[in-house]
Copies of this chain bind each other. A is one copy, B any other.
Amino acid sequence: MPRLLDKKRIDKIVMEAIVSYKEETSILPHVQCPMPDRDVIINLAGQLRQMIFPGYFNRHACRGEIMKYHTGELVVNVHEILTEQLVFALSLQEFSKSKGENICKRDVIQKKASEISYVFLEKLPKIREFLATDVEAAFQGDPAATGKEEIIFSYPGIFAVSIHRLAHELYLLEAPLVPRILSEYAHNLTGIDIHPGATIGRYFFIDHGTGVVIGETTHIGDNVKIYQGVTLGALSTRGGQSLRGVKRHPTLQDNVTVYSGSSILGGETVIGADAVIGSNAFITKSVPPGTKVSIKNPELVFKDGTAKELKVDYGIDGK
């Protein structure tokens, strides 16, 4: 194809871009520190998933002696790459806090990053233990599941919770940026939005999952099951940044089930153990343990082709 390159016009576009970078600085990074790399962090998630479910997402991984070498390689790799990304993220945080006055204290930050990586890697067996219960819950809870392999290979709920359990450990270790990049990666793929801060017990199962939102200060007990479109959210965020750190999201005790499309809002809202919340409920206050909550579904109106209203005997009870 013949190029129609108008040098003057290109030059003008470049100049105006540069001017824009100089004037609109609020969305520029702090240039003195290198930035974390989103693609590298996502690749890391893949390696961590290999460590959690060996044999599923790489070949040769779970066979006798080879397993040891393969695992060793993964551990060294993950430690190195995670440490590097945390150095970038911690430097940026330092730089922001000090409003650019501090230079990056390289070896303090390097040590801190390495330590976070080690402690994180030491949590992997515990994370596997929790995830084994999540897979079990998915298998028990879904009649369409033909086996655990299908669940591990393809269930979006298991993918999102796997990434969450990793991101949550990093969040607890106060690693900046990296946990949220991980959790939004899972959100991209699954439509399930779990903030890394959320605390989630064993045997957790999210079925279908698209549209699920679980806020930063949510607490979820053991053996909880939720469906697509459920929000565990804040009552209002009009306070904006002044609300940081405040418990804004609900608590779900053990054995709670929440059906599709329901919203449970507010930091003081507690759904008691064994409660069942039916579809499309809007809950902003606590519910006692053992209670089954349903909504009186909006009345249905039936009309025929001529828009004449029909009498249809149709009692529904909101599950």
B80 touches A56 (CB 8 A): no
Q: Given contacts A187-B156, A282-B280, A282-B318, is CB(A20)–CB(B125) below 8 Å?
A: yes
State A284–B71 Cα separation when bound (angstroms).
50
Considering only CB atoms and an 8 Å cut-off, how many residues of chain A contact the other chain? 158
A298-B316 in contact given A67-B18, A248-B143, A304-B290 (Cβ < 8 Å): no
Quick check: A312 and B288 within 8 Å, CB to CB? yes
Query: Are the C-beta atoms of A237 and B142 separated by less than 8 Å?
Result: yes
Contacts of A279 in B (CB 8 A): 263, 282
Give the residues from 9 to 38 in chain A that come closer than 8 angstroms, CB to CB, to chain B.
9-10, 12-14, 16-21, 24, 26-29, 31, 34-38
| Chain B positions within 8 Å of A141 at CB level | 237, 240
Q: Which of B13, B67, B246, B302 contacts A291 (CB 8 A)?
A: B302
Residues of chain B within 8 A of A244, CB atoms compared: 143-144
Given the known interface contacts A228-B231, A293-B300, A299-B295, the answer about A319 and B143 at a Cβ–Cβ threshold of 8 Å is: no
Give the Cβ gap from A76 to chain B, nearest Cβ, in Å: 6
- The residues of B that contact A231 with a CB separation of less than 8 Å are 228, 260
Across the interface, do A310 and B297 meet the contact criterion of CB distance under 8 Å?
no
* Residues A181 and B153 in contact in the complex (CB < 8 Å), given A79-B10, A144-B216, A240-B142: yes
Pair B240/A140 contact, Cβ less than 8 Å: yes
Q: How far is the CA of A129 from the CA of B208 in the complex (A)?
A: 29
Query: Separation in Å of the A198 CB from the closest CB of chain B?
Result: 11
Chain B residues whose C-beta falls within 8 Å of the C-beta of A208 in the assembled complex: 193, 213
Q: How far is the CA of A293 from the CA of B301 in the complex (A)?
A: 6
- For the complex, what is the distance from the CA of A233 to the CA of B279, rounded to whole Å? 12
Question: Across the interface, do B143 and A110 meet the contact criterion of CB distance under 8 Å?
Answer: no
Chain B residues whose CB sits within 8 angstroms of the CB of A16 once the complex forms: 122, 124-125
A177 at the interface (CB under 8 A from B): yes
Chain B positions within 8 Å of A290 at CB level = 304-305
Known interface pairs A243-B143, A280-B282; A36-B303 also in contact (CB < 8 Å): no
CB contact list, A150-181 vs B, under 8 A: 150, 152-156, 176-177, 180-181
What are some 24 contacts across the A-B interface (CB < 8 A)?
A10-B79, A13-B124, A20-B129, A26-B132, A28-B54, A34-B59, A35-B56, A35-B149, A145-B241, A146-B177, A154-B184, A156-B184, A210-B210, A210-B211, A210-B213, A235-B319, A236-B319, A261-B261, A274-B305, A280-B298, A291-B302, A291-B303, A292-B303, A296-B299
By a CB distance below 8 angstroms, the chain B residues around A155 are 184
A319 touches B284 (CB 8 A): yes
Q: Which residues on the B side are within 8 Å of A284 (C-beta)? A: 316, 319
